[in-house]
Structure formats: structure tokens, C-alpha cells
Amino acid sequence: MDFIIRAIRPEEYEALGELTARAYLDDGFLDFGEDDGYLHLLRDVARRDAEAEVLVAVDGAGTVLGGVTLAVTGGEWADIARDGEAEFRMLAVAKDARGRGVGEALVRACVERARATEGCRRLVLSTQPGMASAHRLYERFGFVRTPARDWKPIPDMDPLITYGLEL
């Protein structure tokens, strides 16, 4: 593995924000492109880091390869988590870093942190139906679909699908 997973540093906020925005935009996961209201949340890494835990994958040169937001105690960044659950979201890997295990390492770090959190019994997430490669990754970790928890963040959007992993 030619990268490490660690907590983000303030000087990396802009790089991860742009990487995450580009991943969603370039892969077609924002219905309104550059005008999508969700884009500002994807780019606002400083806020995410203040209100949750943001992990990054960085290579030996310090280049940000990917990142994820983890909410282990609920709060603003936990859309579907209930008592005893942690949630992760905004998993993104730079296009040129895909296929190197970056996404897998970020998910593993979320699982490990959730397991290490006292009282946390489950890790949950929401994902778009078209994110098939992410779904395969989650299922390799043992996440299972939880269709009863699927939801729509905004009325004109297709429902997000949900997964959970018993810890």
C-alpha cells in the first residue's frame, strides 16, 4: 500500500473538497451539475471536520487520494444513524487513484473506528442507486441492504439506498 489513512489536516481541506466535488460531478452523481445545491457541502470540508471526523488517504508525497466523513456520535452528518449507530458518507477517491485500494482502506478505517466506539453496534450509510462499484465494495465488507431505511433527501431526487453492518 503506497498511502496511509489518517485524520485530515486543515491545509488539506481544499484539496479534499475539490476531489470530492469532482468525483460526484465527473461520475454524474449530481442531478444539477455545477448548480447542484449539494456541491457546497461536498466542498465544505472544514465544516465537516468541525462537526464529524474526516479521514483522508494520502500518498508519500502528501497528495490527497481520497476521503470520507464519519459521524460516530450522531449529529449533523448522520442522516440515518440511530442510537448505537455510526454513519459514514461522502466517500470519494480521485479518479487517478482508483483501483489501488484507497476506497477499501477508507471503509475499513470507518469500520474500525465504529467498532472502537463504545456503545456503537452498527455502521450505516446511504448511497445513490447508480453507485454500483461502491455497492460492491460495501458488500465485500459484509454490509447488507436495509431497504426499509431508504429515503429521499429532497423531493425531486431518486431515493437513496441504505446499507448497514452489524459490528
Residue-wise pLDDT for 68-116, tens only, equals 999 998 888 999 999 999 999 999 999 999 999 999 999 999 999 999 9
Which has more confidence, 164 or 154? 164
**pLDDT tops 90 at residue 28:** no
Q: What is the dihedral of CA 92, 96, 102, 107, to 10 degrees?
A: 20
pLDDT attached to residue 32: 65
Q: pLDDT band for position 154 (50/70/90)?
A: confident
Q: How far apart, in whole angstroms, are the C-alpha atoms of residue 135 and residue 130?
A: 9
Which of residues 157 and 12 earns the better pLDDT score? 12
Residue 156 predicted with pLDDT over 90: no
Q: CB-based contacts of 136: which residues, under 8 Å, 6+ apart?
A: none
Q: What is the average pLDDT across 120-147?
A: 96
pLDDT beyond 80 at 36: no
**Residue 23 pLDDT greater than 70, yes or no:** yes
117 pLDDT above the threshold of 70: yes
Strands 122-127 and 161-166: antiparallel
CA distance 49 to 72: 13
Look at phi and psi of residue 158 and say left if phi exceeds 0, alpha if psi is from -120 to 50, else beta: beta
pLDDT at 129 over 90: yes
**Mean pLDDT of all residues belonging to the chain:** 94
Euclidean distance between CA atoms 121 and 92, whole angstroms = 25
Select from 76, 72, 106 the least CA-distant residue to 86.
72
The fraction of the chain above a pLDDT of 90, given in percent, is: 84
